[in-house]
Copies of this chain bind each other. A is one copy, B any other.
Amino acid sequence: MSVANRTRGMDAVAESACSIERSVDIIGERWSFLILREALIYGVTRYSDFQSSLGISTNILVDRLNRIVAAGVLEKRMYQEAGSRPRASYHATPKGEALKLVLAAIQQWGDDFNPPKDGVTFNRRTVAEDRPVRVGFVDDNNEPRALDDVAFVRTALHPPR
């Protein structure tokens, strides 16, 4: 991040050419991750269920949900039950669904290198055959590739540094 970028504040930061930095500006915060965990892994949709499962304060939850909605990751819908006032629910967009892979990569890393002492609480499995899956690199021949077979290669658009 350049000095100019730093001094222009959050709007400028969000325009960084770095896809990690722009993504972290959306999801790189503890509560945002945990809200996305609730939405994408536990299937939570209702505002009241986010609040009860995370035990998060109202102002933080509203702020983070608004950011996540503004980023196009969750979509806000209103619903109304008989005799109640309208309430908000939140549903993953395709952009949000794609974050399941990021959460799975983070979960797998935690399971591999920092497991809970009693054992893991989730497995990643195929829906149809209930077989184990791992997150990994796959090449353009659909062949899995090891971590050290892969490099991050700068494009011509990479800013000088």
Contact = CB atoms under 8 A, between A and B. Distances in A.
Interface of A: 1-3, 6, 15-30, 33-34, 37, 41-42, 53-55, 71-72, 95, 97-116, 118-128, 130-145, 147-155, 157-159, 161
Contacts of A23: 106-107, 109-110, 114
Contact of A121 (B1, B25, B26, B158): B158
Q: What is the count of identical protomers in the complex?
A: 2
A121 B53 CA distance: 38
Q: Is the interface of A mostly helix, strand, loop or mixed?
A: mixed
Contacts of A121: 17-19, 154-155, 157-159
Given A127-B149, A153-B122, A154-B121, A20 B101 contact: no
A107 B122 CA distance: 24
A144 B7 CA distance: 43
A26 B120 contact: no
A147 B101 contact: yes
Contacts of A151: 124-127
Contacts of A3: 55
A126 B138 contact: no
Given A126-B145, A137-B134, A34 B24 contact: yes
A70 to B, nearest CB: 12
A161 B121 CA distance: 12
